Each structure stands twice: as C-alpha cells, then as structure tokens.
A and B are shown apart, each in its own frame.
Chain A
Amino acid sequence: MEKLFSHPSSLRDVVTHYCPGCGHGIVHRLIAEVVDELEIREKVVAIAPVGCAVIAYDYWDFDCAEAAHGRAMAVATGIKRVRPETVVFTYQGDGDLAAIGTSETIHAANRGENITGIFVNNAVYGMTGGQMAPTTLIGQKTATTPHGREINLPGMHGYPLKISEMLAQLAAVRYVERVALFSPPEVNKAKKAIRLAFQNQIDNLGFSLIEVLSPCPTYWGMPPKKALDWTREVMAKEFTLGRIK
C-alpha cells in the first residue's frame, strides 16, 4: 500500500499547544504542504504573530521571526526588501492583523510588498481569553462583550471589520481570497488559495492575502464540529467566501 496522506516534512512531528478542534493546526499544515510542494522550505522566512500562533516556529521546520503585536507586515517588509530571494510570509490573527496592526497591514499592501499574508480570522482574541476582535460578529458574546457585540450604545462596538475587502481596494494588491475550513472541499480550496498566494510571490507579482475563517471552539463555547459548522452557517454569511481580488 502506498502512503496517500501523512504530515508534510516542513511540519515538525510534535503535539501543538492548540486546543482540541482549533483551526490553527489545519492552517499550519496547509502552509507546510504548500512549502513542500513548491520546494521552498530552504527559502522561506515566516513571521509569527502575537496571539495563539506566537510559537508557530516550534511547529514549522523553516526560518522564522517573531514580531511585536501587529507589526508582522512591517517586519516582513524589512526582510523581503533586503533578501528578495527569500519567500516571506506573515501568519496573523484578527486582532494582530486587523486591530493593532491595521496600519502596518494596509501600508504594506498599499506599497505592494511582494509578500504573502495568511490571516486567520476566528472572530475572537484567543490567547488572552476570548475578548472581542475586530471581526467579532454582531451579537457574539465574548469576554469583553458579555451581552454580545452591539452596534448601538452603550456598547457601540462597531461592525465586523472586513479588512480583506478593504485591502482589495488597493491598486498594488495582487490577490485576496477568503476561504474556510468547515469541510474537506473547503480545506482543499484553502490550500489552493494559499498555494497561489505563495506562487504569486515567487513570480514577483506582489502582495497576496488569504483570509481563513477558522474555528475557535474554546472561546465560542462549542464542541469542535459545531464550531466548524458555525463558520459555515454564521461566519461565512457575514464574511463572504471566495476570491475578492
């Protein structure tokens, strides 16, 4: 019998610290698979975020830098500009990329930096205990929106921020796609998108961003399968899947 599926060689064979059913594990694997398939392991430099994925470098088997919270796109800019032969990607959560790092994200995209952004949107701050994220849905309860995210006073928390759509407006941005992980076909689509985002960089085509709707069973207070279903039934209604640019 032939081995049809096992873990990619760019992913270390270790147990991650992620909660059961967390989407990070799938996204980590997809990136590692793409890195293996494109044979770029020895050229890759990853930027880990501040958030649950901060120690992603313990799981990937390639060069990796940590960045301050939100600054991954600026760090990636510095690396890619002086080492254009490397393949640089950031791995960021919603708080990192779309709240504290909004400025770095928009401006790296607007300059058309030839980098790849992997944006894991799980609508919540995971590492700090499930607070409201810029992508938290209206009505979603979090540690800091105990009555649910509300548009009006007294909460006045604002609307879920659609940063992918915002970035797609920018002339220098090459490619933006939103994908999800709720079924095997969706995971395969996610991988295809991630692969294209890396290929664009290899082909010097400029800035690509893949937003992945990813489950956080722990802070959504749901069993893992239900959390996956929630990304399909609720999240994907607010954050439309597919190619945005």
Chain B
Amino acid sequence: MAKININRDKCKGCLICISFCPKGIIVLDENLNRKGIKPVKVKENEECLGCAMCAVMCPDCCIEVYK
C-alpha cells in the first residue's frame, strides 16, 4: 500500500517523473495549473509501489511519497 501526492502548482511539466515511474501511473494533466503549465497527475495510485523514483528525480520537489 503506497501513494504519491503531486503538488500540481509547483510542477513545471518537465515530465521526468513519467519516464522513471516503473508502473506508469503518472500522466500528463491536460488541465493547466496556476502557472499556466500542464502539470503531471497520478492516474491510479493503487498501483504505486512507493519506490520514490519519481520523487528522487523530480527537480522541483513536487512529489511526496507515502507507504
């Protein structure tokens, strides 16, 4: 049982996390954030392994991981 929280307003949409998620549960959010950027969002948290690879690679410290 694990999950991630993404701070969508801090996200700059670099999409690095998407490339590193082994489960492919992070996707592009078509809705713009407050900065006018398309951030990422979690598709299905139930699949999350809590590996924190997304958070480790996030340049903007937008992701919190719970396990």
Contacts and interface: CB of A to CB of B under 8 A. Distances in A.
Classify A-B as touching or not with yes or no (CB < 8 A): yes
B42 to A, nearest CB: 14
Contacts of B19: 225
Interface residues on A, range: 20 to 34
A216 to B, nearest CB: 11
Contacts of B59: 18, 20-26, 224
Interface in A6-37: 6-7, 11, 13, 15-16, 18-26, 29
A160 to B, nearest CB: 24
Which of A3, A13, A188, A225 has the most chain B CB within a 10 Å cutoff?
A225
Interface centre among B13, B20, B59, B67, by most chain A C-beta atoms within 10 angstroms, is B59
**Tier of interface size on chain B:** 20 to 34
A29 B65 CA distance: 15
A184 B64 contact: no
B15 interface: yes
B65 A225 contact: no
Contacts of A24: 59
User: Chain B contact residues: over half helix, strand or loop, or mixed?
Assistant: loop
Interface in A150-198: 181, 183-184, 187-188
A84 B2 CA distance: 44
A4 B65 contact: yes
Interface string B24-58: 00000000000101000000000000101101111
Interface of A: 1-7, 11, 13, 15-16, 18-26, 29, 181, 183-184, 187-188, 217, 223-225, 228
Nearest 10 Cβ contacts at the A-B interface:
A25-B59, A21-B14, A20-B14, A20-B12, A5-B65, A224-B14, A1-B66, A7-B61, A4-B65, A6-B64
Interface of B: 1-3, 9-10, 12-16, 19-20, 35, 37, 50, 52-53, 55-61, 63-67
